[in-house]
């Protein structure tokens, strides 16, 4: 499959990857191209800006969360029908899980056979830029550094010095961005403010980024670099194929817990019957979701209905299961607490509930003293400590999504804590997390269901039907 593509990477976080990647998507779309947006790693916020810039769902590529064998199929799925794909990296180019390069931007670039554009923060240096670029170009075989974009350039003189120094590396300079606070994206305790919370301001910010990149970078050269990527083998991922269950140690659905017989999920409700409604929380307080989750739920036979816990006073009609994903409920605790009718309905809901991070907090008795749904026996509070990282977790109790003893690959990223929940759902080497019972799966652990399609099947199978 021929997919022009490139990876936007950097030596470190804060160098300007998101500015360049989002602006490049917007600039290429303004040229009339269909742009496929992707993000390396588990982050939810950058893909929200990518979606605004490209007009297509932002999709994550994470070898840890989904297994490296699924990275290429997921990429092909997202890039289908597009003219060019832009992949934003994570952290520094070679930074992966722990002290390894696994799940790094370089790892994903190799899996995609994609050329890399390195965004370099040129502030406070000139000739040294060339030494840095030379090191990144030669550090790891198999990673092709195809160009450099200089960021935070102070003047024409500064730009000229950097360009002259880089000539010795043979790596072309494909753009140079001046320092411009007007294009900075506002942030808070967990990074950038999600696009969904900013509304029209986010749209205008993305438009400014597109104009900046169009004026500061050689779009034709970037497109030529993207087109130099070789054809890709393999078949695009699809939710329907992912739910064609196989047996063995990765057997899904009913065979997952005990390695039993395979189950194939066909059209309609998983296991037959009417199509249940799965209500998915959205709105400004619950902005974190991977696009493949909805696709898997629909392929498993569900009708997906989005509701906003900030505004809707009732669950979608006929809701048979709830999905309450990540976001920032702590920033909206007063408004969530004020929606007493919805909290009461969630408290009384007798179908399966799958909650992650923000969803866990919403199900607690309270957030920072404000009453919530009370389905999880615990109280959530803000802390000054950031908890983040990949986790290899073992489920220690059965719940709608988990079976005791199963292993999961997930990711944590939060500054809150829950006190009082004494029945953890997961354990790992140095910690425990979450709460689980017959109706509730609630945890800080973020999971990517493309790596575990059985989770969608389990939820739909357990959903109430009218």
Ranges assigned E (strand) in 89-172: 116-121, 145-153
Distance (Å, whole) CA 108 – CA 112: 6
402 and 425 share a domain?
A: yes
Strand partners, 217: 175
159 and 252 share a domain?
A: no
Residue 194 is assigned to a structural domain of this protein: yes
CATH code assigned at 65: 3.40.50.300
Catalytic residue among 82, 162, 357, 364: 357
Per-residue model confidence (pLDDT) at position 169: 97
21-38 pLDDT, tens digit per residue, is 999 999 999 999 999 999
Residue 232 is assigned to a structural domain of this protein: no
282-339 pLDDT, tens digit per residue, is 999 999 999 999 999 999 999 999 999 999 999 999 999 999 999 988 889 999 999 9
Indicate the residue among 203, 227, 251 that finishes a domain: 227
Give the chain's mean pLDDT. 90
Indicate the residue among 176, 204, 227 that finishes a domain: 227
Distance (Å, whole) CA 309 – CA 321: 15
Nearest to residue 451, comparing CAs of 395, 397, 408, 422? 408
Residue 234 is assigned to a structural domain of this protein: no
pLDDT band at 192 (very low <50, low <70, confident <90, very high): confident
Task: State how far the alpha carbon of 164 is from the alpha carbons of 131, 144, 220, 221, 241, in Å.
Answer: 12, 21, 21, 19, 51
For the chain, how many structural domains are there in total? 2
138 and 167 share a domain?
A: yes
345 and 422 share a domain?
A: yes
Residue 180 is assigned to a structural domain of this protein: yes
Instruction: Respond yes or no: is residue 357 known to be catalytic.
Output: yes
Tell me the average pLDDT across 171-185.
Answer: 83
Tell me the average pLDDT across 171-176.
Answer: 98
Return the minimum-mean-pLDDT range out of 194-198, 264-268, 369-373, 427-431.
Answer: 264-268
> Which residue range is the domain that position 360 belongs to?
239-462
CB 370 within 8 A of CB 337: yes
Per the structure block, which two tokens stand in for 457? 């099947």
Residue 43 is assigned to a structural domain of this protein: yes
């Amino acid at each position: 499959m021929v997919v022009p593509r490139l990876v936007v990477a950097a030596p470190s976080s804060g160098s300007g990857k998101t500015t360049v990647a989002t602006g490049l998507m917007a600039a290429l779309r303004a040229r009339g191209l269909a742009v496929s947006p992707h993000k390396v790693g588990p982050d939810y916020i950058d893909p929200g800006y990518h979606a605004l810039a490209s007009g297509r769902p932002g999709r994550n590529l994470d070898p840890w969360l989904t297994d490296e064998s699924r990275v290429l199929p997921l990429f092909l799925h997202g890039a289908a029908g597009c003219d060019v794909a832009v992949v934003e990296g994570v952290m520094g180019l070679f930074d992966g899980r722990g002290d390894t390069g696994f799940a790094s931007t370089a790892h994903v670039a190799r899996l995609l056979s994609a050329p890399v554009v390195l965004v370099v923060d040129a502030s406070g240096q000139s000739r040294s830029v060339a030494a840095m670029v030379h090191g990144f170009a030669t550090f790891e075989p198999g990673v092709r550094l195809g160009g450099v974009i200089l960021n935070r350039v102070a003047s024409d003189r500064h730009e000229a010095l950097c360009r002259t120094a880089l000539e010795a590396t043979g790596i072309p300079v494909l753009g140079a961005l001046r320092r411009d606070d007007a294009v900075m994206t506002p942030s808070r305790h967990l990074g950038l403010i999600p696009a969904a919370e900013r509304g029209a301001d986010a749209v205008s910010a993305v438009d400014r980024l597109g104009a900046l990149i169009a004026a500061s970078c050689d779009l034709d050269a970037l497109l030529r670099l993207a087109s130099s990527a070789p054809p890709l083998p393999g078949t695009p991922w699809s939710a329907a194929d992912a739910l064609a269950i196989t047996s063995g140690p990765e057997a899904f659905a009913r065979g997952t817990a005990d390695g039993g017989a395979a189950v194939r999920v066909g059209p309609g409700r998983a296991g037959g019957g009417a199509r249940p409604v799965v209500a998915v929380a959205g709105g400004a307080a619950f902005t974190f979701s991977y696009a493949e989750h909805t696709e898997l739920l629909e392929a498993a036979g569900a009708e997906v209905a989005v509701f906003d816990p900030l505004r809707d006073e009732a669950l979608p009609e006929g809701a048979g299961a709830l999905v309450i994903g990540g976001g920032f409920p702590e920033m909206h605790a007063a408004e969530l607490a004020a929606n007493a009718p919805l909290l009461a309905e969630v408290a009384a809901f007798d179908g399966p509930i799958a909650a992650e991070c923000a969803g866990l907090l919403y199900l607690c008795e309270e957030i920072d003293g404000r009453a919530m749904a009370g389905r999880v026996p615990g109280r959530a509070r803000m802390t000054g400590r950031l908890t983040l990282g990949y986790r290899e977790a073992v489920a220690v109790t059965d719940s709608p999504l988990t079976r005791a003893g199963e292993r999961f690959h997930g990711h944590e990223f939060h500054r809150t804590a829950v006190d009082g929940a004494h029945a953890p759902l997961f354990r790992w080497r140095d910690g425990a997390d979450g709460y689980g019972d017959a109706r509730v799966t609630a945890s800080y652990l973020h999971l990517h269901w493309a790596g575990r399609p059985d989770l969608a099947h389990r939820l739909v199978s357990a959903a109430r039907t009218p």
